Every structure is written in structure tokens, then in C-alpha cells.
């Protein structure tokens, strides 16, 4: 497995162009199932996860072609089963459930299984499909869902906010017979992007971005061309990198409005943050000052930036209380940061971080996507060479990471596994 060697201690300076959002691209790709007409998606990042999703869509019979960051899909599905060996690699595969049910009235999707950050059940996805008239059984490790006469609009109230379940419900309701009301839904920018693309295909969706979405079902959807929104988590990752390396980075093709919670906290830590419509500039002002965060669904502090922020607090002046409320096991980066000399104590979903002036070089191991990048950020502050193994996790969510950081003064080198 590939590794990264990082020779840190240098400030990051320069410009980074932010790629399309992984967590918008994955549900948008699933729309290739919901219509036979050509759907052209632009700004689709080339990542292990998007490539996996394109492979699953081909397995289902969709004609998928990629030219750079433009993915064209046509023809719809010819099969309705998403097998375990494809789904286990990427839990977002469960997002084929809604479009398959809506368009073909049947779907057999493997239960995704857990991952490093938690058990990650799909009960809310199943309940949403049932709320729209599907008959769902869980058998042999699969979700077996049918709606022979098509889905029927209905009122689906989510007991807790779920990004993926909201996305499945939205795609299913778009072709259901009659109106649907989805209550206590996720409000992430990626939800808005999915709804906007569905509306461009002829769906009739309103309220996206609020806690309640209304959908008037239509008989069929046509093709469209849609550009994936910018990746706010990639942008947030680099914003934190600037603040913790004493750097000065300007992030291009990004939308500051989608990062308000992070930018507010970065200012609290002493960084200077300036925004335009599509850029964010972060200038460090010496050693960061410690600050507390609690992760929350959008517009709160994103759980996907918790590990990166913790890396910054490890070298901050003061103590920081980090509360992870979304996933039950999202502190896998802690043992690795401790190897680098960090002072962190975990009690359930709370981590107390006492900032140290410096961390120390150490070989560490990546465990999940965002934990991996938090180790990269920590290593970028350390004089001397650190090694990070199992960086295939990074390749799932960050395109051309070494190139982007290398262009801003970072010294890192990918080590091919022998
Ligand atoms: C999406 O995952 C993202 N992935 C995650 O990003 C992100 O961390 C998460 O939303 C929260 O923002 C994609 O968009 C592909 P949830 P998702 O359903 O949809 C529980 C990354 O690093 N839950 O909002 O799976 C669940 O266990 C990834 O890019 C149920 O109990 O997240 C969690 O505790 C990691 N039952 C909470 O809800 C369900 O049926 C929120 O999960 C579904 C979820």
C-alpha cells in the first residue's frame, strides 16, 4: 500500500483551485439511473469513490463515459442489483436504491456494512422508501425493495437528520405518483445541488436547503447538463492547512457561504480570513489560539472537518474541547496524532486537546478518509520527515493532493508500496 513521506515545517503559500464536491458528485452520478436521456455532469472530480460509483453504474447497465472531469450517462439501468463486493467498497452505493425504485419499481442493494467511523446503518433510507409506498425486506445481507405499481407520494418525517437518506428520498419522490413532503431533512449544499439537477431534469422540487422539502412527482425525467458544486470539505481542509502552517493560501472556485461555521472558528483562532464570491484567502497570524467546536448537521461545524481541526488544535496555544455528535467512532486519528506527540484525551464523543508548541516526526497510519488528511496536516507542521502509510484512504476524497500542496511549498513524496 502506498505511503506519503512529508518533510514539514514550511508555510503553505499560494493558490489552490478547489475541485468538484465528492459528496455532491456521488448522488448526482446516481441520477444516471433515473432517466434514459443523456445526463452530462461537469466538474466531476476523479477520485477512487467517483470511479467506484461509475463502475457500479456500468454494472447496472448504464452507458457511462468520462472525458477528464465530464461524465456522460445515458440509457438508464438494465439490472437492479448492487452486489456486496461493489457496495462494501463504498457505502454511498446505497444511493442507487431511490432512483432504481423510482424508475424500475425494484432494487436489490447490499447492506453496506460499517466502516472505520461507525456502524452507519441504513434504517432511515429503508423507512423513507416505505413511506413512499415501497415494500422492503432485509434478507441475506440485502435490501430487497419493490414498488410494482410505482412509488406513491407521501409524508416522510426523519427522526434524525441524514444526508444520504434525504438524497434517496428526494430521488425516489421525484418520480412518485402525487405530492411528497420530506420533513427534518438534511440542509447540506450537496442536497441543494442534487435538487437543482433534478429540477433541471424536469422534477418539481421546492424547499431544498430548508428543513422541509416538497416534491410534486412527475411521470418521467429528461436529460440535462449540470456542473457539480465546489467541494467545501476540500476547501475547509486547505483553509485549516494555511492557518496551522503559518501560511497564506487563496482558495479559488469555492463558495465561502458553505463554510461559515469553519471560517468563524478560524477567525477565533487568530487567522485572517477574507472572502469574495468564489475565493477564500486565509492568512495565519502566528501560532493558532485554541478554540472549541461541536460538530453538527449543516449549517453547523461539519463532521468531515473535525479531524483536520483537531490536528490544528494539537499545536494551538491553549486547550480545545472537540465534541463529535454525528458519528460514534470518529476519533480514529487520535492514536496516530498521539504518536506524533499530541496531548489528547478522549471520553466518549468528547476529545480534550492540550496544544503543544511542536509535534514530532513519527510513522503513522491512515484509517479513514478525513483522519488520513488530518495526519498530513499535522506532518506539514513538523520539522523533519514523517511517513504516513495506507494513503489509499486519501485517494478516495482528495484529487491531486500532493500536486496541490506541492505547488504551495509543501515537500511531500508518494512512496509506492514495494
Ligand atoms: C454523508 O454520509 C457523507 N457522505 C459523509 O461524508 C458525512 O460525514 C455525512 O454525510 C454527515 O455529513 C456522502 O455524502 C457520500 P448521514 P451519510 O446519513 O449520508 C446515522 C466523507 O468523509 N444514520 O448524514 O452516510 C449515521 O450513522 C464522508 O466524505 C442512521 O442512524 O451520513 C450517522 O451517525 C464520511 N441511519 C448520522 O445518522 C441511517 O439510515 C448521520 O449520517 C442513516 C444514517
For the chain, 418 residues long, give each residue's pLDDT as a single digit of tens: 789 999 999 999 999 999 999 999 999 999 999 999 999 999 999 999 999 999 999 999 999 999 999 999 999 999 999 999 888 888 899 999 999 999 999 999 998 866 777 777 899 999 999 999 999 999 999 999 999 999 999 999 999 999 999 999 999 999 999 999 999 999 999 999 999 999 999 999 999 999 999 999 999 999 999 999 999 999 999 999 999 999 999 999 999 999 999 999 999 999 999 999 999 999 999 999 999 999 999 999 999 999 999 999 999 999 999 999 999 889 999 999 999 999 999 999 999 999 999 999 999 998 889 999 999 999 999 999 999 999 899 999 999 999 999 999 999 999 987 6
Closest residue by Cα to residue 303 from 275, 285, 326? 326
**Alpha-carbon distances of 235 from 199, 305, 306, 415, rounded to whole Å:** 27, 10, 14, 25
CA of 162 to the centre of ligand 1 (A): 6
208-248 per-position pLDDT tens digit: 999 999 999 999 999 999 999 999 999 999 999 999 999 99
Write out the H or E segment, with its range, that includes residue 405: helix 401-406
**Structural domains of the chain ordered from first start:** 3-18+231-415 (3.65.10.10), 22-227 (3.65.10.10)
Q: Quick one: pLDDT at residue 203?
A: 98
> Which has the closest alpha carbon to 394: 411, 412, 418?
412
pLDDT given for residue 114 in this prediction: 65
- pLDDT tens string 43-70: 999 999 999 999 999 999 999 999 999 9
pLDDT on residue 418: 65
pTM of the model as a whole: 0.97
**C-alpha distances out from residue 56 to 90, 100, 396, Å:** 10, 13, 15
Ligand 1 centroid vs 391 CA: distance in angstroms?
22
Number of other CB atoms surrounding residue 45 within 10 Å: 22
Task: Report the nearest-CA residue for atom 8 of ligand 1.
Answer: 304
Using the atom order of ligand 1, give the atom closest to the CA of residue 127: 40
Report pLDDT for 117. 75
Measured in Å, residue 5 CA sits from the centre of ligand 1 at: 31
Asked whether the beta carbons of 77 and 61 are under 8 A apart, the reply is yes
- pLDDT for 2 equals 86
Annotated active-site residue 314? The verdict is no
d(CA 305, CA 282): 16
How many angstroms separate the alpha carbon of residue 341 from the centre of ligand 1?
31
Nearest CA to ligand 1 atom 10: 163
Q: At what angle do helices 22-30 and 163-173 cross, to 10 degrees?
A: 30
| Residues 6 or more apart in contact with residue 85 via CB below 8 angstroms | none
Instruction: List the residue whose alpha carbon is closest to atom 1 of ligand 1.
Output: 163
DSSP string, 88-111: TT-GGGGGGHHHHHHHHSEEEEE-
Ligand 1 binding residues, C-beta < 6 A: 22-23, 26, 92, 118, 120-125, 160, 162-165, 303-304, 326-327, 369-370, 397
Read off the DSSP letter of residue 178: S
Q: Backbone phi, then psi, for 232, in 5-degree steps?
A: -70, -25
CB 124 within 8 A of CB 101: no
Amino acid at each position: 500500500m502506498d505511503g506519503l513521506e512529508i518533510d514539514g515545517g514550511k508555510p503553505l503559500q499560494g493558490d489552490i483551485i478547489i475541485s468538484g464536491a465528492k459528496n455532491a458528485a456521488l448522488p448526482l452520478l446516481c441520477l444516471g439511473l433515473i432517466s434514459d436521456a443523456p445526463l452530462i455532469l461537469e466538474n466531476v472530480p476523479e477520485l477512487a469513490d467517483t470511479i467506484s460509483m461509475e463502475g457500479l453504474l456500468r454494472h447496472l447497465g448504464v452507458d457511462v463515459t468520462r472525458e477528464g472531469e465530464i461524465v456522460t450517462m445515458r440509457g438508464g439501468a438494465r439490472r437492479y442489483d448492487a452486489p456486496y463486493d461493489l457496495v462494501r467498497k463504498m457505502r454511498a452505493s446505497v444511493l442507487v436504491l431511490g432512483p432504481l425504485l423510482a424508475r424500475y419499481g425494484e432494487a436489490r442493494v447490499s447492506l453496506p456494512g460499517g466502516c472505520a467511523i461507525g456502524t452507519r446503518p441504513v434504517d432511515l433510507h429503508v423507512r423513507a422508501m416505505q413511506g413512499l409506498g415501497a415494500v422492503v425486506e432485509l434478507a441475506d445481507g440485502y435490501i430487497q425493495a419493490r414498488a410494482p405499481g410505482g412509488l406513491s407520494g407521501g409524508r416522510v418525517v426523519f427522526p434524525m437528520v441524514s444526508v444520504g437518506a434525504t438524497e434517496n428520498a428526494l430521488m425516489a419522490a421525484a418520480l412518485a405518483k402525487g405530492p411528497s413532503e420530506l420533513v427534518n431533512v438534511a440542509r447540506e449544499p450537496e442536497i441543494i445541488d442534487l435538487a437543482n439537477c433534478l429540477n433541471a431534469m424536469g422534477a418539481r422540487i421546492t424547499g431544498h436547503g430548508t428543513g422541509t422539502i416538497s416534491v410534486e412527482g412527475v411521470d418521467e425525467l429528461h436529460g440535462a447538463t449540470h456542473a457539480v458544486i465546489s467541494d467545501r470539505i476540500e476547501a475547509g481542509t486547505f483553509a485549516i492547512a494555511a492557518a496551522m502552517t503559518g501560511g497564506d493560501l487563496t482558495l479559488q472556485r469555492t463558495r465561502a457561504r458553505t463554510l461559515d461555521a469553519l471560517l468563524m472558528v478560524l477567525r477565533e483562532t487568530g487567522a485572517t480570513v477574507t472572502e469574495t464570491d468564489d475565493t477564500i484567502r486565509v492568512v495565519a497570524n502566528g501560532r493558532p489560539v485554541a478554540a472549541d467546536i461541536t460538530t453538527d448537521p449543516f449549517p453547523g461545524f461539519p463532521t468531515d472537518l473535525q479531524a483536520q481541526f483537531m490536528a490544528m488544535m494539537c499545536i494551538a496555544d491553549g486547550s480545545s474541547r472537540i465534541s463529535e455528535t454525528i458519528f460514534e467512532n470518529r476519533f480514529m486519528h487520535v492514536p496516530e496524532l498521539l504518536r506524533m506527540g499530541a496531548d489528547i484525551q478522549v471520553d466518549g464523543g468528547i476529545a480534550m486537546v492540550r496544544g503543544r508548541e511542536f509535534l514530532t516526526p513519527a510513522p503513522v497510519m491512515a484509517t479513514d478518509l478525513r483522519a488520513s488528511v488530518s495526519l498530513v496536516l499535522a506532518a506539514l507542521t513538523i520539522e523533519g520527515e514523517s511517513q504516513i502509510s495506507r494513503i489509499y484512504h486519501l485517494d478516495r476524497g482528495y484529487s491531486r493532493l500532493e500536486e496541490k500542496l506541492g505547488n504551495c511549498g509543501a515537500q511531500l513524496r508518494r512512496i509506492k508500496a514495494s
